[in-house]
Amino acid sequence: MALMEGLSQTLVAAGHEVVVAADIPEAIRTLGGARPLIAVVDRAELMRGDAVLGLPLARGGALVEFHGDDAGAAVLPHRIQRATLAKLQLPLERQRLVALVSNLEKRALAAGRKTSDEERLDAGK
């Protein structure tokens, strides 16, 4: 969890809104219907089951797998591998994560997609 706190600080400093959760069910509850553009999920959490496939992402959103230095050689199930945009070793590749988030955000805006904040505001109307 300390790794995620550090990454969240990096992303917030880069101007992104961040939600940190201990697991996928908690993330779904915390989001409260908001649909994030990107979900950065620990490989160990992805190995626990298919809950990640129920994580509501914004249109054009992406799932990113991360692992720390101590990660084993476990291979994700194929259905989750197909749903994953990138695999990062964190914190080593944190700048790659920031660049990936920024590029996804630019791509979504260029395609005319709303950000998760705008979708949440529209849903509240």
Q: What is the dihedral of CA 44, 82, 39, 46, to 10 degrees?
A: -20
Tally of structural domains, the chain: 1
Question: What distance in Å separates the CA atoms of residue 114 and residue 79, rounded to the nearest whole number?
Answer: 27
Residues 17-51 pLDDT 10s: 999 998 999 999 999 989 999 999 999 888 887 77
Q: What is the pLDDT along the chain (125 residues), one digit of tens a residue?
A: 678 888 889 999 998 899 999 899 999 999 998 999 999 999 988 888 777 888 889 988 899 999 887 656 678 888 888 889 999 998 889 999 999 999 999 988 888 765 545 444 344 33
CATH number of the domain bearing residue 109: 3.40.50.2300
User: Which are the contacts of 90, defined by CB distance < 8 A and separation ≥ 6?
Assistant: 3, 7, 66, 67, 68, 97
Q: Which domain holds residue 32?
A: 2-123
